[in-house]
Amino acid sequence: MAELNKSYSPQGVEEKWYAYWLAGGYFIADPGADSAPYSVVIPPPNVTGSLHMGHALNTTLQDILVRWKRMSGLSVLWIPGMDHAGIATQNVVERQLASEGVDRHKLGRDAFIERVWKWKDEYGGKIIHQLKSLGASCDWSRERFTLDKGLSEAVIEVFVSLHEQGLIYRDNRLINWCPRCHTALSDIEVEHEELEGRLTHIRYPLADGGGHIVVATTRPETMLGDTAVAVNPEDERYRDMIGKMVRLPLTGRKIPVIADDAVDAGFGTGAVKVTPAHDFNDEAIAKRQSPPLEFITVIGPDGSMTEAAGRRYAGMDRYDCRKTVIGDLEHEGLLEKQEKYQHSISQCYRCKTVIEPLSALQWYVKIKPLAEEAIAAVRNNRITIIPKTWENTYFSWMDNINDWCISRQIWWGHRIPAWYCGACGEVIVSRTTPAKCTKCAGTELRQDEDVLDTWFSSALWPFSTLGWPEKTPELQKYYPTSVLVTGFDIIFFWVARMIMMGLKFMTEIPFRDVYIHALVRDASGQKMSKSKGNVIDPLIIMEKYGTDAFRFTLAVFAAQGRDVRFSEERVEGYRHFVNKLWNASRFILSNAGEAKLPETVGFERLDLGSRWIMSRLAAAADEMRISLEEYRFNDAAGSIYHFIWHELCDWYIEMVKPLLYSETEDKQAVQECLLYVLDNTLRLLHPFMPYVTEEIWQNLCEGRRMKEDGGKSIMIAPYPRSLARDAESEEEMSVIMETVMGIRTVRGELNLSPSLELNVYIRTLLEKTGDILNRNLIYLKKLAKAEVKAIGDDLKKPKGSAAAVRKYAEVYVPLEGLLNIDLEVERLKKEEAKADETISFLSRKLNNEDFLKRAPKDIVEKEREKFDECIRKKERIREHIGKLCEARGEQ
């Protein structure tokens, strides 16, 4: 065996084992396997992306599940891949072009797309390497990209098929337009932000000269496109004006005063200017009127004013125009006032540019019929959302869902499979490029210039990545997938749409569970963002503390329903844990002698400590399994942490040292037990800390495996389960532990040197105690540095002794010559006071008739026992104090 270094350093280790796993093909799924499937599709990161904390958490949690299931014997497939991120990627490449003084229109569509692919090959997919360094055990042989040939075919199939079923249609209405990205966006791609703006009050003179009507607006520049002023029909103030005309300032146009219920008489002046072409509300009002109001588009796709805005304003940027309009109104004496006003503005989720509602012809998915089934799937628990509280979010969105605008005016993406006939205007939607018009047989066909929303293709991800529409073995074996692990921010973008599409095209849910994990924030709870400058780069953390410590920290933080506040100190803390494990392993391996790693260890030949640690190992394994089954990653991590540090290291390793350093018959059994426990511990921990566990495990196995037939890697070693518990040794061990801690408390509280061996007398209070202690004196000697002088149930406390009073026993430490007795008296008085508090609390409770009558019997019984126990304890403490005072008097 190679000598292990004194402390663990991850450098080199991580790369080595990742390469080893890849070479061994351990990540690769076998659809032909007999074992039950467990499959996960990664939420595909953007091709433009680089690893952030969110990815790190997301990937770590999936990897934990996947490694755990793989070790548990399931046929595991974890599909990785990336999303082509239409708008984001196009933006990146357009910026690149701009720096060369070119724009995409100059370049032309084909050349541009070629350029994006080139970019993708060169820079895209950085994140894939980063996922690998996190340890992600994805099946890279099945990596997919949303613009792959296969996935593109799936997209076309779905589009055409939905169109055939009347679920995709084309319509002209207001859309969310990003003037910078130059494309339409769906409702959920728009972010709302509360900002302080201004509410401008403008006078619109009545055309008949009889006064004016004041309207209030946050967007004065749109007045140039007003086609009405609306008031509430019930509003007495304006009732007479309905039907009259007003003169629209700065334009000379005359527009009517109309009535509409949507107007809130209590807001502003109670009169609203109506700009149907630039406001969603106004559009609705316009369409409700009969005849419908006119739409005048005064702002163009680039965010500047159109000719229709008037010669003075045409070509102006919309914000410059706002200033100009206000100035002009003021000049004409029509500006009533401007007041500060808090309101929310809509911005593009990619570039934060303020959205401009524009009227345009776009493609839509008719969503209600799809949503109904998707709602039902969650309602009937065919799909479980964990934590359950996110179901509310899902339902409330799905219940109020609007049709999905899926066309984007960009080039990078799946081009819409629709063609327009130049001769007759027919729209032909087709899986293949049509040769001639289906209506007039004209050959002058032009394909739609637009591409589909990126999310349209990612909605198909759970089955398109498995080969659909082909009937592949993968699809057969691994659909539906087992779980989707993701953040809440994309419940709408994906989860909901994946469910709709899965149900529609596979007639089956896409995943059984949806695990919604937290958002990673900075230490003060702020969302990490580049603009705030509070981003912590996971790669730097991994470099600094090691990937294992980082992953473990994420897992420990990942409690359900709460966001993660990331703090570097905790990563450091868990790096210490990695090092602790490393050193414990180092100890075990260097003290295992010639022992082989046994496949099982029989309890009968083991000492108490070994039986105890075996039982505790079993307990930890059970806890971890239950926790992982319920996606309680933090609890699973906590269990193994506690086991390794506070049971294996603090107690077991310490207590077997005397055995290992001597030549007793028990020695080999202990060595085997140590190896066995280490082996199982590493396997339990492996899903959380893949690298260090592999590194140690390989050292452990070298030359020590009884059989050489398996064990190439810990990642395919069986996950421990159903190990045997042993209640008796746990019970016995707790007697030892209590006793040891009693002696240590005396030592610590009285400040006796750790190197000083103490003479100890023990009075046993339970029948079994004496026997247990007598059989295990060696542990007391080692763990408490105590020489036990006498044990007995009628033992008298030696004069001038300190005492520790426990449930099973009282421990006496004669202090003669060790220190002054005053200190011990003081300490005991503190204990007495504590006991008094407990006694008074419990007696109040036990004197309460209602409690005795109504509380469950076993609780009452337990409280009574506690009370009795406490009374006895107090008596004993008093006794000790008395004796010490006596002794002091004699001194």
Partner RNA sequence: AGGCUCGUAGCUCAGGGGGAGAGCGCUACCUUGACACGGUAGAGGUCGGCGGUUCGAAACCGCCCGGGCCUACCA
Residues 599-618 that bind RNA (CB under 7 A): none
Q: Give residues 515-554 in contact with RNA (rule: CB under 7 A).
A: 521, 523-525, 527
Per the listing, tokens 């980082």 go with 550
Query: Tokens at residue 889, please?
Result: 């008097």
Q: Is 26 in the site for RNA (CB under 7 A)?
A: no
The answer to whether 192 contacts RNA (rule: CB under 7 A) is: yes
Query: In the block, which residue shows the tokens 């994946």?
Result: 498
Stretch that binds RNA, among 58-66, 178-186, 688-696, 846-854 (CB under 7 A): 846-854
Nearest approach in angstroms of CB 836 to RNA is 9
Between 161 and 567, name the residue whose CB sits nearer to RNA.
567
- Residue 343, helix vs strand vs coil: strand
Q: Which stretch binds RNA (CB under 7 A): 440-448, 682-690, 706-714, 746-754?
A: 746-754
Contact 761, 801 (CB under 8 A): yes
In DSSP terms, which residues pair with 82 in a beta bridge? 145
Q: Does 889 bind RNA (CB under 7 A)?
A: no
Question: Residues 449, 837, 861, 865: which binds RNA (CB under 7 A)?
Answer: 837
Question: Which strands form 427-429's sheet, in the order they lie side by side?
Answer: 427-429, 418-421, 445-447
Contact region with RNA (CB under 7 A), list: 34-42, 412-420, 720-728, 837-845: 837-845
Tell whether residue 741 is a contact of RNA (CB under 7 A).
yes
Cβ contact 426:403 at 8 Å: no
What would the 3-class secondary structure string for 484-509 be? EEEEHHHHHHHHHHHHHHHHHHHCCC
Nearer to RNA, 34 or 569 (CB): 569
Which residue stretch of 20-28, 314-322, 331-339, 859-867 sits at the interface with RNA (rule: CB under 7 A)? 859-867
Write down the least CB distance from residue 196 to RNA, Å. 12
Q: Hunting for tokens 């403008």 — which residue is that? A: 202
217 is a contact residue toward RNA (CB under 7 A)? yes
CB 778 to RNA: min, Å: 14
Residues 401 and 412: their CA atoms lie apart, in Å, by: 27
CB of 2 to RNA, least distance (A): 15
Q: Which residue has the tokens 């303020």?
A: 354
CB of 177 to RNA, least distance (A): 15
Measured from the CB of residue 381, what is the shortest distance to RNA in angstroms? 19
What is the distance between the alpha carbons of residues 694 and 15, in angstroms, rounded to a whole number?
12
> What is the smallest separation between the CB atom of 752 and RNA, expressed in angstroms?
8
Virtual torsion, Cα 311, 314, 319, 322, nearest 10 deg:
20
Shortest reach from residue 647's CB to RNA, in Å: 11
* Residue nearer to RNA on the CB measure, 190 or 207: 190
> How many DSSP H helices and E strands does the chain contain?
29, 29
Q: Which is nearer to RNA, 11 or 432 (CB)?
A: 11
Q: Shortest gap between Cβ of 98 and RNA (angstroms)?
A: 30
Q: Which is nearer to RNA, 6 or 796 (CB)?
A: 6
- Contact region for RNA (CB under 7 A) — 167-175, 261-269, 327-335, 408-416? 261-269
What is the x/- site pattern for RNA, positions 547-586, by CB under 7 A?
----------x-xxxxxxx-x-xx-xxxxx-xxx--xx-x
Chain residues 670-729 in contact with RNA, contact rule CB under 7 A: none
- Number of chain residues interacting with RNA (CB under 7 A): 108
CA-closest candidate to residue 470, choices 161, 162, 154, 78? 154
**Whole-number minimum distance, CB 91 to RNA, in Å?**
21
**Closer of 509 and 842 to RNA (Cβ):** 842
Query: At its nearest, how many Å lie between RNA and the CB of residue 796?
Result: 25
Q: Which of 65, 134, 188, 483 binds RNA (CB under 7 A)?
A: 188
Cα–Cα separations (whole angstroms), residue 17 to 138, 320, 406, 705, 733: 15, 60, 44, 20, 39
Structural tokens at position 13: 């280790």
Rounded-to-integer distance, Cα 618 and Cα 627, Å: 14
Q: Which residue from 234, 231, 328, 365 is spatially nearest to 285, judged by alpha carbons?
A: 231
Please say which residue, 528 or 884, places its beta carbon nearer to RNA.
528
The DSSP call for residue 332 is T
Q: Which of residues 85-104 bind RNA (CB under 7 A)?
A: none
What is the nearest approach in angstroms of RNA to the Cβ of residue 368? 15
Instruction: Tell whether residue 337 is a contact of RNA (CB under 7 A).
Output: no
Segment 360 to 389, residues that bind RNA, using CB under 7 A: 389
Planar angle of CA 609, 611, 617, nearest 5 degrees: 100
ω into residue 10 within 30 of 0, thus cis?
A: no
Determine the residue type at 599. E
Site for RNA in 645-674 (CB under 7 A): 645, 649-650, 653-654, 657, 661
**What CA–CA distance (Å, rounded) separates 852 from 864?**
10
343 bridge partner residues: 195
Scan residues 263-322 and list those touching RNA (CB under 7 A). Answer: 263-273, 279-281
Classify residue 511 by its DSSP letter: E
What's the per-residue H, E or C state across 515-545? EEECCEECCCCCECCCCCCCCCCHHHHHHHH
